[in-house]
Amino acid sequence: MDFYLAWFDDDRRKSTDLKIQEAVAAYERRFRRPPNVVLINEQDRIDGVSAVRLRPLTYIRPSTFYVGLEEAA
């Protein structure tokens, strides 16, 4: 079962990397386990986030991040 926390942050003063770090930290505080994936809009794609896998998708709204734990198939 895949499980996600929706996170929205449209603060233009923050980098996308910082927004993802904050979303991951919120997930860990809430569920007491680390996520392994973040679903993001293709516009928000960045390189260098090593803690989680980023999956850019066209149907995710900009500045919205779905932080989650996906089980292997």
Residue 71: per-residue pLDDT = 81
Tens digit of each residue's pLDDT, the chain (73 residues): 678 999 999 999 999 999 999 999 999 999 999 999 999 999 888 876 667 899 999 999 999 999 999 886 5
Q: Which two tokens stand for residue 59?
A: 């149907």
Question: Which residues, in sequence order, are CB contacts of 29 under 8 Å at separation 6+?
Answer: none
- The predicted pLDDT at position 1 comes to 63
* DSSP codes, 14-71: S-HHHHHHHHHHHHHHHHSS---EEEEEGGG--S---SSEEEEETTSPTTEEEEEE--
Q: Is the whole-model pTM more than 0.75?
A: yes
Looking at residue 42, what is its pLDDT? 92
